[in-house]
Structure 1
Amino acid sequence: MHAASRDALAKCREKLQGTIGQKSDGGATAATIGSELFQVVEVLDADRSLRIAVADSSAPAAARQDLARSLFGWKVGDATLEIVLEAVGQSWSNPRDLRDGLVDLGRLSLLASAAAQGQLATVEDELFRLGRIVAGNPEFEQALADRQAPADAKRALLGTVLYGKVTAVTETLASQAVVRPESRPAEDLDALSRMAAELQGTSVADVTSAKDLSDEQLSSLKARLGKIYGKDMAVHLSVDPTIMGGLVIRVGDEVIDGSVSGRIESMRRRIP
């Protein structure tokens, strides 16, 4: 996002946090806002002229808000409408940034509802595991990313994997991710998982192992990484037998390659 849009999003996030913070309903309001914001996004995705009109910074903010109120006032609750009006009243760099901002706010709302229910860590793990499932099945990912496929068909396909196996928040977040016009399912699910981790105040370590790790090994690894980086860590584990042994650990831009294949490659580079 450009600077103007980042500023607009920051103000909208502040508004959202204030709205959710006023409620003590176990995350119900946050969940409703998140789901309804996704409905608003779907309407904007389906109508380019409308998307441009509500983000037109050359028009008075009040006019844009009146348009949004006439369109969504009877479709969403008062709390959601307040967030929508706050968003369209801001100056965004382009219509896409407004749309992406609403997606961000919807995701934050749903993750806040998970946090209120004590499910945020579970949602983070479910989103990560789902992302690995999608990434490991190219045909499945291609079907979910197909821009020509109807949204309902993609939701139904995803539902065959999710039904009865994940929390309601995870299902809603994942379903919205795969129906986005520019959907990159595995990447979007990974981004959602990282967002959930950040809201818990943790950093993410992407760990690749030649074989699965036990719960005890994962706990030990988390503790060691926490000491190294001085913060709580969430470990996202992927299994890749081709590394032959050891671990490859990525935290942000830093890579620690302790794999057997990595050591062999390092030796090859040193041999003249």
Structure 2
Amino acid sequence: MRGSSAKSLDTTLSAVSAVPGTSATQVGTELFGAVEALDGAVAARRVLTDPSIDTEGKRSLAAGIFGGKVSQDTASVIDAAVGGRWAAGRDLTDGLEIAGVAAFTRAADAAGQGDVLENELFEAGRVIHDSDELRQVVSDKSVPVAAKTTLLRDVFGGKVSEATLALLTQAAVARTGSFERVLDTFSRQVAAREDRLVAVARVAYDLDQAERDRLTAALSRRYGRSIQLNTVVDPSVIGGIAVSVGDEVVDATMSTRLEAARRRIAG
């Protein structure tokens, strides 16, 4: 987001930061519910983002929609959001979705489970990616969200935290792109709240802890940030390693080197 929407998002996230960690899970759940409600209420969303309507009028409308349906903590976040200026109606609901992710991240941090949330999101994403049937269902926008929710709970319930399950379910709504793209965005948002970058390393074999520590330290020095390292074992790598950090990819695999050599020989 840019301009006025970016400033309004910052204000909304500040309101999330003020939420007690003990109630952050409820706030995240209710914010995702508010996103669903506003996505289905185009007229209300337009009013809430209309710059010609005074702020108090917008806040009164939001209170009328959500009053008595959400907690006071959630209401304060929604109040901060509708009190801002958004460049488009979708920016408001996108901002509330980001705020929901932030609330679940805050809850995980408060419970000392921030790293667990990041790791679970990555591992669950890999499980879904590697299962053609599961990936097809969660990626199909014609499948009702309720059915996806049931499926995800059947597969991951009891195996991941409630925060992870909530983010997986929200990603399956696929509001802003494909399931995998949205889940990747959520993972980056979780890491960013911890002031970390997410690095994905493709390797030929599972790294031991000492190797992971050395790679993490090297990446931290390169990017000047704390790194959340996720690894994917890929036999096609043959040797070496390929690391992606955001949109940057450093490919030092043997397979890539061999292909480059083949091209040079072929002229």
| TM, length-normalised to structure 2 | 0.92
Question: 2:37 aligned with 1:9, yes or no?
Answer: no
* In structure 1, distance between residues paired with 2:246 and 2:73: 36
| 1:148-199 CA-partner distances (Å, limit 9, x unpaired) | 2222111001112211001111111211221244452222222222222222
Of 97-106 and 177-186, more deviation after overlay is shown by 177-186
> Is residue 145–residue 183 contact of structure 1 (8 Å, CA) maintained in 2?
no
* In structure 2, distance between residues paired with 1:147 and 1:228: 39
Offset, 1:86: 1.5
Structure 2 residue aligned with 1:108: 102
Structure 1 residue aligned with 2:86: 92
* In structure 2, distance between residues paired with 1:57 and 1:142: 41
Find the partner of 1:66 among 53, 60, 65.
60
* In structure 2, distance between residues paired with 1:231 and 1:106: 24
> Is residue 209–residue 248 contact of structure 1 (8 Å, CA) maintained in 2?
yes
Find the partner of 2:235 among 213, 235, 241.
241
Offset, 1:88: 1.2
RMSD of aligned C-alpha atoms?
1.8
Change (3 A) 1:186 1:72: same
| 1:28-64 CA-partner distances (Å, limit 9, x unpaired) | 2222211111111111122222222222222222111
* In structure 2, distance between residues paired with 1:132 and 1:101: 27
Aligned length: 266
Structure 2 residue aligned with 1:223: 217
Question: 2:123 aligned with 1:129, yes or no?
Answer: yes
Find the partner of 1:56 among 37, 50, 58.
50
Unaligned runs of 5+ in 1: none
Change (3 A) 1:70 1:151: same
Corresponding residue SS for 1:166:
coil
Corresponding residue SS for 2:207:
coil
Of 152-161 and 129-138, more deviation after overlay is shown by 129-138
Offset, 1:68: 0.8
Find the partner of 1:41 among 35, 51, 65.
35
Question: 2:200 aligned with 1:200, yes or no?
Answer: no
* In structure 2, distance between residues paired with 1:179 and 1:254: 27
Change (3 A) 1:253 1:46: closer
Change (3 A) 1:163 1:139: same
* In structure 2, distance between residues paired with 1:257 and 1:183: 27
Find the partner of 1:164 among 158, 168, 171.
158
Unaligned runs of 5+ in 2: none
| 1:66-115 CA-partner distances (Å, limit 9, x unpaired) | 11101101100111111111211211111100000000111101101100
| TM, length-normalised to structure 1 | 0.90
* In structure 2, distance between residues paired with 1:65 and 1:36: 17
Offset, 1:214: 2.9
* In structure 2, distance between residues paired with 1:35 and 1:49: 23
